[in-house]
Amino acid sequence: MNQMYQRASDFAEQAHQMQRRKITGEPYFSHPRNVAHLLRDAGFRDEVVAAGFLHDVVEDTPVTLDEIRADFGDEVAELVASHTEDKLQPWEARKSHTIEVVRTGTLEQKAIIVADKLDNLQSVKYALSSEGDRVWGYFKRDYEAQKWYNESIVGNMYEGLREDEIPKYFQKYAELCDWVFN
């Protein structure tokens, strides 16, 4: 394991230490760890994997983008920034912004978003098996809104990418989205 990987893992674990996943109740850090592992296993460079660990810290904890920049550099900070939602905006505006980033962003920006959404949807699939449609009550928006959001990510994630650069887990996300919502 390299130094940046370990530092980002430790930083994210510390930042999220008091948080739990809304569906499973497990420690929240399991999510950024899963995202980082998807990115690492797909062969992304260290800065992208680090951003995978850190993708939610600015959005969901008191950590600032300046702290990320100071500890991990401009590249990691910019990747985290491209994924960070402005919680002052309404849900629909935040999600539309993410869809636009996944449509127009770089492969690395897209990769972090899709890895994040894949891990989230895997939690939904798990919960559907035990809770059925009650699972949608965990979210700020209902099934139809979640369907719109996830299907919009799938509909835009390949934009501007060559076939040979698309990570395998993009297809896994598309298939899981189809399974959950159809």
Q: Which residues are catalytic?
A: 59-60
* Phi/psi at 27 (5° precision): -55, 135
Tokens representing 69?
């920049």
What are the residue ranges of helices labelled H in 27-142?
A: 30-41, 46-54, 57-60, 65-72, 74-83, 91-104, 107-131
**pLDDT tens track, the chain, 182 positions:** 689 999 999 999 999 999 999 888 899 999 999 999 999 999 999 999 999 999 999 999 999 999 999 999 999 999 999 999 998 999 999 999 999 999 999 999 999 999 999 999 999 999 998 889 999 988 889 999 999 999 999 999 999 999 999 999 999 999 999 999 98
pTM: predicted TM-score of the whole model, two decimal places: 0.96
Domains of the chain: 3-181 (1.10.3210.10)
Instruction: Give the position of tokens 């990987």.
Output: 5
Instruction: Give the position of tokens 């420690």.
Output: 27
